[in-house]
Amino acid sequence: MARILGLDLGSHAVKGVVLEAKTKTHTTHGFAEVRRAQEGERADTLRAAVQELLGQLPPGNVDQIVIALPGPALTTHSLSLPFSDARRIEATLPFEVGSQLPFDISDVVYDYQVVGLKDGEGKEKASDLLVGVVRKEELAELLALLSELKVDPRIVTHPGLTYQNLFQQHPGLFQGTGEGGAVAVVDIGHERTSVSVGKPGEGVQFARTFSGGGKDLSKALATEFQTSLAEAHHWKEQHGAVASAAQGPDAERAAAAFVRGLQPMLRELRPTLKAFTARTRQQVGAVVLCGGTAKLPGIAEQLSRDLNLPVRVLALPADAKAIPAAEQPVAAQAYSLSLRGNAAGVRAPRFNLRRGEFAFKGDFDYMKDKLGLLASFAATLILLLIAFGVVRNSVLARREAQVDAVLCDTTQRILGRCEKDYNRALNMLAGVESPAAALPRLTAVNLLAEVTGRVPDDMPVKFTRIQIDLSRVILEGETDSSKQIDTLSNAIKNHDCFKDVRQGKVEKTRDGSKMSFRLDVQVQCPGEQGGES
């Protein structure tokens, strides 16, 4: 039984859901939420909140941790490629992504998720991709901070693609709200909103994140009532409401402020839904809300008016009974992240920013799910090796018979007798009684090549006469100085077959600019007498 921790690193609070995964089922084992301090450095408040959260979760070791990249650092690109082969996609993405970035591709980490396939040219399917990109330094800082707390997430995913497994594993959560069409999950956090559009039972088809959320509502309330942001936020949580849930003059005045605070988010949400329709030619049939702002009474009714769509707040499935009903919208992302860690098979999301230099380097417990596949691969490999050995032995036996026949024919023609033993035949052919024994080991061409090959490249020499036979080489020529003649003589002596190099008469040429020389070289290779084989 594996324990998976889905960790939502929100800007206002961190949430954690522990999922216990069995062979075919899973149950939620615990949920905790810790508010981040509103004063201080972001890294410090996150570190303190995560440390406190880990102490509140059910005791026991966690086998896997999954997070979504927090904050607005992640940018999302929608791409279409005329093929679906994973290797071609991997090879093409650096150029496609790099052309859309204001900085070098080597400064970022990116990954992709195939969100749709359609008919392309020929038999191959074209693919629609969602690509998430983040700067390396931001991902490195986050992983370093978590590492201080001994938190090593195996998966760092896209906040929008977090809900992929919720669409696939729990389609009943979305059916009936959009009359079978596409549903948009809108996660309204404190400073960021994530949108995931998909179909129940199929998965996410479009995703986007943008700035804006519950903090804008608190700011609008603080401006309306001329109070501090902290007091406005506290009042919003205790008494805030919109639409028909707002009762009384102060509540209605606050509701009007909340509606103004929702406008920046709506200005991004409306074109996001339109972009999905333009890209897929599908209409969004309904909106499901989650995140901390989804707890605001009347928010679904208000957004339904603004978007002219059915809107409701997300309720998690029955296996999430460990999470109180009132907290389920807040816990939605953490719960979906834990489902991501339990996903397996071809339908599991592939998006994971822990790749390349940031690849997960934990223990090998993740291999447990792969043992059956590895065993089948090993058995297949053994069968292939056995078959290869049988085929190779059969082929080698035929080749050996062919070589024996050729060797027999050769020795029959040269020696007058058939010999199939290679070493014996070689000794007989090299023997003094063999016709091959009369063949010299070196020829005049070989000797010429050896002589010229030993002339230093930087030596200015001109040969006027070269006489070569198998026992003697005579060289006559001109060079700049007697020292260079000695250098040439020593270079020729380095060859094993040039036993003796004698210098003849050395004198200046008529114009006095060069030195003429003669070298007499005796040829005798080791194992030979007088140059004869």
Identify the bridge partners of residue 127 per DSSP, sorted by sequence position: 81, 117
Q: Which fold has domain 452-523?
A: Gyrase A; domain 2 (3.30.1360)
Tell me: pLDDT of 112 over 80: yes
Domains of the chain: which residue ranges?
2-362, 372-430, 452-523
Q: Which residues contact 209 (CB under 8 A, 6 or more apart)?
A: 72, 74, 76, 158, 159, 160, 192, 193, 194, 195
Counted residue by residue, the chain has a size of: 533
Q: 352 in helix, strand or coil?
A: coil
Q: What is the pLDDT of residues 67-103, one digit of tens each?
A: 999 877 888 888 999 888 889 999 999 999 988 888 8
pLDDT of residue 206: 93
pLDDT of residue 346: 63
Pairwise CA distance, residues 192 & 210, whole Å: 6
DSSP states along 325-349: GGGHHHHHHHHHHHHHHH--STTS-
Tokens 């010299």: give the residue.
440
Residues 476-495: what's their mean pLDDT? 86
Pairwise CA distance, residues 75 & 59, whole Å: 36
Pairwise CA distance, residues 383 & 20, whole Å: 38
Q: Which of 37-51, 278-292, 495-509 has the lowest mean pLDDT?
A: 495-509
pLDDT of residue 314: 93
Burial of 302 (0-12, 13-18, 19+ CB in 10 A): buried
Residues 392-410: what's their mean pLDDT? 85
pLDDT of residue 334: 94
Q: Which of 58-62, 145-149, 175-179 has the lowest mean pLDDT?
A: 175-179
Determine the residue type at 452. T
pLDDT of residue 469: 83
Q: Which residue has the higher pLDDT, 142 or 471?
A: 142
Q: Which residue has the higher pLDDT, 443 or 65?
A: 65
Q: What is the mean pLDDT of the chain?
A: 86
pLDDT of residue 436: 52
pLDDT of residue 527: 63
Q: Which residue has the higher pLDDT, 311 or 484?
A: 311
* Residue 163: both structure tokens together: 């809900």
Confidence of residue 430 (pLDDT cuts 50, 70, 90): low
Residue 319 CA, chain-centre distance (Å), reads: 34
Q: Is the dihedral of CA 266, 270, 275, 277 positive or negative?
A: positive
Quickly count: other Cβ atoms within 10 Å of residue 32's Cβ: 18
pTM higher than 0.85 for the full model?
no
Residues 118-127: what's their mean pLDDT? 79
Pairwise CA distance, residues 126 & 118, whole Å: 5
Residue 149 near residue 156, CB atoms below 8 Å? no
Confidence of residue 329 (pLDDT cuts 50, 70, 90): very high
pLDDT of residue 187: 96
Residues 309-324: what's their mean pLDDT? 91
pLDDT of residue 191: 92
Pairwise CA distance, residues 185 & 176, whole Å: 14
pLDDT of residue 448: 84
Pairwise CA distance, residues 268 & 456, whole Å: 77
Q: Which of 122-131, 141-150, 438-447 has the lowest mean pLDDT?
A: 438-447
Q: What is the pLDDT of residues 330-343, one digit of tens each?
A: 999 999 999 888 87
What are the residue ranges of helices labelled H in 243-327?
249-280, 299-307
Residue 68 near residue 157, CB atoms below 8 Å? yes
Q: What is the pLDDT of residues 173-205, one digit of tens each?
A: 887 665 568 999 999 999 999 999 999 888 899
pLDDT of residue 178: 57
Tell me: pLDDT of 64 over 60: yes
Q: The domain 2-362: what is its CATH number?
A: 3.30.420.40
Q: What is the pLDDT of residues 217-232, one digit of tens each?
A: 999 999 999 999 999 9
Pairwise CA distance, residues 331 & 337, whole Å: 10
Q: Is the dihedral of CA 138, 139, 141, 142 positive or negative?
A: positive
